[in-house]
Amino acid sequence: MSWQSYVDDQLLATKMVSQAAICGHDGNIWATSTGFNVTAAELKHLSTNFGNMDVLPMSGLNLAGTKFMFLSANDRVMRGKKGTSGVHIMKTVQAIIVAVYAEPIVPEQCANTTEKLGEYLISVGY
């Protein structure tokens, strides 16, 4: 399965994710949804500072030119919010999954979908 099909079939097709991207830990984009103009520099910043409580709460989570308020993070998951939309980010062994949601999708729906794919990728070594 291609990385693009993970974005299209495992994230967007569920209708629990509005926009998504999968990238490597180096910030290089492997796949992205149509119209989600996230940059490698934005993803590199997230990857480099993943879970860094000294940097991200102050800078926020910047994706595709949108600044999301940092909500929480641990070693594998980060969350952000902007109005009624938000972002759920999961780090796997080799990849980072970025999933953005907007109303009427609620955070828990996006989180479950994102983490389900993340757990699968971890189970197969990605």
Please say if the pLDDT value at position 103 is more than 80.
yes
Q: What is the pLDDT of residue 23?
A: 98
> How far apart, in whole angstroms, are the C-alpha atoms of residue 120 and residue 34?
23
CB atoms within 10 A of CB 76: 15
pTM metric for this prediction:
0.96
Q: Return the CA Rg of the chain.
A: 13
pLDDT tens readout for residues 46-83? 999 998 889 999 999 999 999 999 999 999 999 999 99
Q: What is the pLDDT of residue 1?
A: 75
Average pLDDT over residues 8-31: 97
Q: Is 63 helix (H, G, I), strand (E, B) or coil?
A: strand
Tokens 């990857």 belong to which residue? 47
